[in-house]
């Protein structure tokens, strides 16, 4: 005993302090790395490259937080969705307090859900974006896909219209809206959509495509006057396109001038021989002219 006391006395105060400090650091480290720490389990899950391990760690993280740890729960939803396990992913999304999730995570999950045509769980994620900071275009684009997949036509039209309002310079939103009207055979609304697009500051390179679609739509609708107007403007910027002869022929035929229509087709026969519309129209014109 006396020897032990003497040994303790011989320990320098600095050495003892270092020993105690080291012990405290070890205890602190052990606390943070404790297997049941939700944050540590989440960290390990995010670092893992193994899907099964990720799922296990995330489930443990949620359990360690008494079943409520939104950051880990949304990650679990994403991993399960990425693995195609939609029954568990959807169940986890239903349980999740989505108000605590970031817009980025909700958008990521919604995109995966829409791509997999998991409409119900996609709608939960999209609805949770309400009130969160995000690009409205991202949400509305997903909503358009969602409503199209669920055959909810009125909501599809509303979302598509909203996209053209918040980003009127983006051509594809106008083309998307026009396509929706075309599918429902609402030719008047389709024409009006193309006209509205041409009144916006859409890229110059897109103007030709929009005008081309408007021209074809007007011809199909039998509106010769509006079709002629679009044809004249299109020819000024797109004269080298061999399809101009086809459109000219279709327009002349619509205006009751079959001979001129056939002449237009014949003038570019070498360039448009593979265009089905030209082949069909030539046959019709030969029958009419005898």
Residue that is last in its domain, among 196, 217, 239: 239
Identify which has the larger pLDDT, 200 or 245: 200
Q: Cβ contacts of residue 118 below 8 Å, gap of 6+?
A: 81, 86, 89, 90
CA distances from 221 to 70, 82, 185, 214, 283 (A): 54, 45, 10, 10, 21
Same domain, 213 and 142: yes
Residue that is last in its domain, among 105, 130, 155: 130
Specify the DSSP class assigned to residue 37. -
Q: What does the pLDDT look like over 252-272, one tens digit per residue?
A: 999 999 999 888 888 877 666
Specify the DSSP class assigned to residue 200. S
Domain CATH number, residue 221: 1.25.40.10
Quick one: what percent of the chain has pLDDT higher than 70? 86
* pTM score, whole prediction: 0.79
Taking the CB of residue 200, how many other CB atoms lie within 10 A of it? 17
Domain of 114?
32-130
**Mean pLDDT value of segment 222-240:** 92
Burial of 122-149, coded b for 16+ CB within 10 Å and e otherwise, reads bbbbbebbeeeeeeeebbbbbbbbbbbe
Identify which has the larger pLDDT, 242 or 188: 188
Same domain, 157 and 231: yes
Any domain includes 143: yes
> From CA 194, how far away is CA 177, in angstroms rounded?
9
Q: What does the pLDDT look like over 109-130, one tens digit per residue?
A: 999 999 999 999 999 999 999 8
Same domain, 277 and 211: no
> From CA 152, how far away is CA 140, in angstroms rounded?
14
For the chain, the average pLDDT equals: 88
Same domain, 235 and 263: no
Same domain, 269 and 283: yes
Same domain, 229 and 264: no
Q: What does the pLDDT look like over 169-196, one tens digit per residue?
A: 999 999 999 999 999 999 999 999 999 9
**275 burial level (CB within 10 Å; 0-12, 13-18, 19+):** middle
**Mean pLDDT value of segment 160-172:** 98
> From CA 217, how far away is CA 184, in angstroms rounded?
14
pLDDT at position 8 over 70: no
Give 6's pLDDT tier (boundaries 50, 70, 90).
Answer: low
Q: What does the pLDDT look like over 27-75, one tens digit per residue?
A: 455 444 455 899 999 999 899 999 999 999 999 999 999 989 999 999 9
Count of structural domains, the chain = 3
Same domain, 264 and 249: yes
**Mean pLDDT value of segment 200-220:** 95
Segment among 12-21, 42-51, 220-229 with least mean pLDDT: 12-21
* Torsion of the alpha carbons at 179, 182, 184 and 185, rounded to the nearest 10: 180
Same domain, 50 and 88: yes
Any domain includes 20: no
> From CA 213, how far away is CA 191, in angstroms rounded?
9
Any domain includes 14: no
Same domain, 207 and 272: no
Residue that is last in its domain, among 99, 130, 161: 130
Give 278's pLDDT tier (boundaries 50, 70, 90).
Answer: confident
**Cβ–Cβ under 8 Å, residues 189 and 176:** no
């Amino acid at each position: 005993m006396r020897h032990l006391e003497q040994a303790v006395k011989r320990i320098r105060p600095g050495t003892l302090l270092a020993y105690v400090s080291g012990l405290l650091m070890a205890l602190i480290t052990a606390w943070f790395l404790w297997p049941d720490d939700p944050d540590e389990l989440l960290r390990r899950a995010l670092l893992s490259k193994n899907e099964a391990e990720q799922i296990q760690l995330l489930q443990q993280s949620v359990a360690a937080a008494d079943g409520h740890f939104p950051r880990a729960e949304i990650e679990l939803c994403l991993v399960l969705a990425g693995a195609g396990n939609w029954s568990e992913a959807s169940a986890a999304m239903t349980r999740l307090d989505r108000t605590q999730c970031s817009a980025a995570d909700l958008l990521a999950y919604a995109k995966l859900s829409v791509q997999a045509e998991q409409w119900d769980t996609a709608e939960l994620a999209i609805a949770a974006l309400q009130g969160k900071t995000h690009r409205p275009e991202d949400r509305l684009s997903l909503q358009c896909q969602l409503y199209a997949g669920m055959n909810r036509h009125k909501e599809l039209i509303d979302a598509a219209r909203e996209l053209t309002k918040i980003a009127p310079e983006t051509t594809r939103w106008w083309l998307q809206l026009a396509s929706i009207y075309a599918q429902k055979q609402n030719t008047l609304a389709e024409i009006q959509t193309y006209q509205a697009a041409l009144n916006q500051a859409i890229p110059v390179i897109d103007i030709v495509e929009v005008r081309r679609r408007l021209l074809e739509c007007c011809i199909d609708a039998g509106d010769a006057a509006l079709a002629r107007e679009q044809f004249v403007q299109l020819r000024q910027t797109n004269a080298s396109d061999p399809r101009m002869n086809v459109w000219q022929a279709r327009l002349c035929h619509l205006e009751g001038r079959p001979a001129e229509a056939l002449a237009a087709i014949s003038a570019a026969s070498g360039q448009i021989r593979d265009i089905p519309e030209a082949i069909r129209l030539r046959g019709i014109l030969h029958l009419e002219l005898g």
